[in-house]
């Protein structure tokens, strides 16, 4: 199976086939996401929140992204993989931006990069696309600007803001972005943008009119996601409870000496470990 590509994604939109995207940050998660049939994996800088334990995405570095992207690619070799450009790595010179992009592509082995912002980064998007790298836009609530925005606010609530978002989306399409993530945007505005553009929109908290949906892995499976359930998230499992109870059972069995049991121990008749590990 070949990974999806940006030409096929546009075709999906034309044919009305929704795109499914989920985040992943490591090999096992990527492996499972690919086996589950996901269209696109995002190595998001939400890494900072859900894996590294920071309270925002701001501390995430290019080094962090390269390291995690590599491990994701090893687990999902047949899936299209997008890596986030971290905070402040695409607002200096084009040269500096391209250095970071090169690392995500050439050392991280991503297929594309994602950048937050609209009109103000259009020239940057254009330069990266001209270098041969597909760019996924990201507008609406952009977590890297949380200190500027003043919190996690719904975007597009009045006519002026709706127009601003539409203008940003059009600027990104004109700059050559292959798609746009719409985060925390009112359903009406996200639907209007999706209709207007020929490239796919991928929504998170942006309603039913988007061309695809993205969620954070840890939220989908309830894997110790440190945040209270958000209204736009749907959880499909409770892996956190399963892990906690499994570890608790292990601790208990170590304490009461019921683990290791007869079947777990070696004696002189056993073979070499290589055979056991197969």
What count of other Cβ atoms lies within 10 Å of the Cβ of residue 63?
11
Q: Contact letters (x/-) for Na ion, 15-54, by CB under 5 A?
A: -----------------------------xx---------
Query: Which is the catalytic residue, given 120, 183, 188, 196?
Result: 183
Query: Which of 34, 39, 64, 84 touches Na ion by CB under 5 A?
Result: 84
First-to-last CA distance in the chain? Answer: 27
CA–CA distance, 164 with 193 (Å, rounded to integer): 11
User: In the bound complex, what is the minimum distance in angstroms from residue 45's beta carbon to ligand KIV?
Assistant: 5
CB 175 within 8 A of CB 129: yes
- Count of residues that interact with Na ion, criterion CB under 5 A: 3
Strands 201-204 and 80-84: unpaired
Q: Which residues bind ligand KIV (CB under 6 A)?
A: 23, 42, 44-46, 84, 181, 183, 204, 214, 216
- Residues making up the annotated binding site for Mg(2+) are 45, 84, 116
* Residue among 44 and 212 whose Cβ is closer to Na ion: 44
* Choices 77-85, 123-131, 181-189, 213-221 (CB under 5 A): range interacting with Na ion: 77-85
DSSP string, 211-275: SEEEE-HHHHHTSS--SPPPTT------HHHHHHHHHHHHHHHHHTT-SS-GGG---TT---HHH
144 interacts with, out of Na ion, ligand KIV, none, CB within 5 to 8 A per kind: none
The answer to whether residue 183 is catalytic is: yes
* Residue among 15 and 222 whose Cβ is closer to ligand KIV: 222
- Residues making up the annotated binding site for 3-methyl-2-oxobutanoate are 45-46, 84, 114
165 interacts with, out of Na ion, ligand KIV, none, CB within 5 to 8 A per kind: none
193 interacts with, out of ligand KIV, Na ion, none, CB within 5 to 8 A per kind: none
CA–CA distance, 124 with 90 (Å, rounded to integer): 7
Q: Could you give the angle at the alpha carbon of 36 between the alpha carbons of 31 and 38, nearest 5°?
A: 90
- Among positions 121-140, residues that touch Na ion (CB under 5 A) are none
Residue closest to Na ion, measured at CB: 44
Peptide bond before 260: cis, by omega within 30 degrees of 0?
A: yes
DSSP string, 12-68: HHHHTPPEEEEE--SHHHHHHHHHTT-SEEEE-TTHHHHTT--SSSTT--HHHHHHH
Is 183 one of the binding residues for Na ion (CB under 5 A)?
A: no
> Which residues are marked as active site?
183
The residues that touch Na ion, with contacts defined as CB under 5 A, are 44-45, 84
């Amino acid at each position: 199976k070949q990974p999806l590509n940006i030409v096929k994604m546009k075709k999906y939109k034309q044919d009305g086939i929704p795109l499914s995207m989920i985040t992943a940050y490591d090999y096992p998660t990527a492996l499972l996401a690919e086996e589950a049939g996901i269209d696109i994996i995002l190595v998001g800088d939400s890494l900072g929140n859900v894996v590294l334990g920071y309270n925002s995405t701001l501390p995430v570095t290019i080094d962090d992204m390269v390291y995690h992207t590599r491990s994701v690619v090893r687990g999902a070799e047949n899936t299209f993989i997008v890596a986030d450009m971290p905070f402040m790595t695409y607002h200096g010179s084009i040269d500096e931006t391209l250095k970071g992009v090169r690392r995500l592509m050439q050392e991280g082995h991503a297929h594309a990069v994602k950048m937050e912002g609209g009109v103000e980064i259009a020239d940057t998007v254009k330069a990266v696309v001209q270098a041969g790298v597909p760019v996924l836009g990201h507008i609406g609530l952009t977590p890297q600007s949380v200190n500027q925005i003043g919190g996690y606010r719904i975007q597009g609530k009045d006519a002026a803001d709706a127009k601003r978002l539409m203008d940003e989306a059009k600027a990104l399409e004109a700059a050559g972005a292959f798609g746009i993530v719409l985060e925390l945007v009112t359903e009406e505005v996200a639907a209007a943008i999706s209709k207007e553009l020929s490239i796919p929109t991928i929504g998170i908290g942006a309603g039913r009119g988007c061309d695809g949906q993205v969620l954070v892995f840890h939220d989908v499976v309830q894997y110790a996601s440190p945040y209270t359930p958000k209204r736009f998230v749907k959880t499909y499992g409770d892996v956190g409870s399963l892990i906690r109870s499994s570890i608790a059972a292990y601790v208990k069995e170590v304490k009461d000496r019921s683990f290791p049991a007869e079947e777990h121990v070696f004696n002189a008749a056993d073979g070499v470990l290589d055979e056991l590990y197969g």
